[in-house]
Amino acid sequence: MATEIDYLTHLRTESARFAEVLRDAPADAQVPTCPDWTTDDLLWHLAEVQWFWGTIVRDAVTDPSTLDHPERPSDRAGLLEFFEAASTTLQKTLAETGPQEARWTWSEEQTAGFTRRRQAHEALIHRLDAELTADVERTAMDPALAADGVDEALRIMFGGVPEWGRTVPEAGSTLRIRSSDTGRPWLVTLGRFTGTDPEGTVRDEPDIVVADTDPGDQAAATVTGTAADLDCWLWGRPTVGTVERSGDNQVQTRFQAILDQGVD
């Protein structure tokens, strides 16, 4: 995980912009990037997410199933009040908790630092959703944060492997993703994930493996764009510029199919 990025500042900035944009947006407007949601659904979603993680970190909760979730406010004023309180608590709690301190997460990394990073990116992507919903000009994405978002999406959101399964990479089915403005590359290999989850369900599905470092070897396919556009592309959000693709069409298609399935 990158350590030079000020996740707390980004969390504060993106959360504030999210609330500002939605404050006067029509309550029943459809969220283009989440068609099942209205404006107020989007507001409640991020509010509840930030409440949840603020509570987890503040109270050092080890079993999230014990949490008593709050009821959704019935109007916009109540939703905004709840969001602002939850966001303030999350930011304050993360600022007061060292990133290496142990805290529950759904990831193998059980630290408050994981939540710092994840929540900065959660706020960033939903800020984009808010701007698209309100049909206002999109705020530029910080290139370093966006590149870190690409890394998180590839390694953790799409490429993370639980301890009960394994992914076998397929030799030659490689895709190099490169950020044109930051110069950061990622080498992705397509593969197959197999295993039996804790509920007894047998899983056998496409997956990816991301190299720890890019060796610079020839890849079967390439994808190039700004860090912001790559981050948006991986999260299924509209890009501002063009994401350029070249090389093996089958590798491109198979990788896009994984993205289209979304994150569990």
- Residues 183-195 have a mean pLDDT of 96
Mean pLDDT, rounded, for 59-66: 97
Residues of the chain with CATH 3.30.1050: 154-261
Architecture per CATH, domain 154-261, reads as 2-Layer Sandwich (3.30)
The pairing of strands 165-179 and 185-196 is antiparallel
Q: What is the pLDDT of residues 205-258, one digit of tens each?
A: 999 999 998 888 899 999 999 999 999 999 999 999 999 999 999 999 999 999
Mean confidence (pLDDT) of the chain: 95
- pTM assigned to the model: 0.95
CA distance 142 to 148: 10
Domain with CATH 1.20.120.450 in the chain: 7-134
Strands (E) located in 32-164: 34-38
What's CA 11's distance to the chain center, in Å? 13
12 φ, ψ (degrees, to nearest 5): -65, -45
Q: What percent of the chain has pLDDT over 70?
A: 98
Q: What is the mean pLDDT of residues 37-50?
A: 98
% of the chain beyond a pLDDT of 90: 92
Element (H, E) at 146: helix 143-152
pLDDT above 60 (res 54):
yes
How many angstroms separate the CA atoms of 103 and 114, rounded? 9
Q: Which two tokens stand for residue 188?
A: 């992705």
The two tokens of residue 113 are 């630092």
pLDDT at 60 over 50: yes
Coil, strand or helix: which one is 93? helix
In this prediction, residue 1 carries a pLDDT of: 43
Give the model's pLDDT for residue 264.
63
What tens digit of pLDDT does each residue of 67-126 get?
A: 999 999 999 999 999 999 999 999 999 999 999 999 999 999 999 999 999 999 999 999
Q: Please give the class, per CATH, of domain 7-134.
A: mainly alpha
Local confidence band at 262 (pLDDT 50, 70, 90 cut-offs) = confident
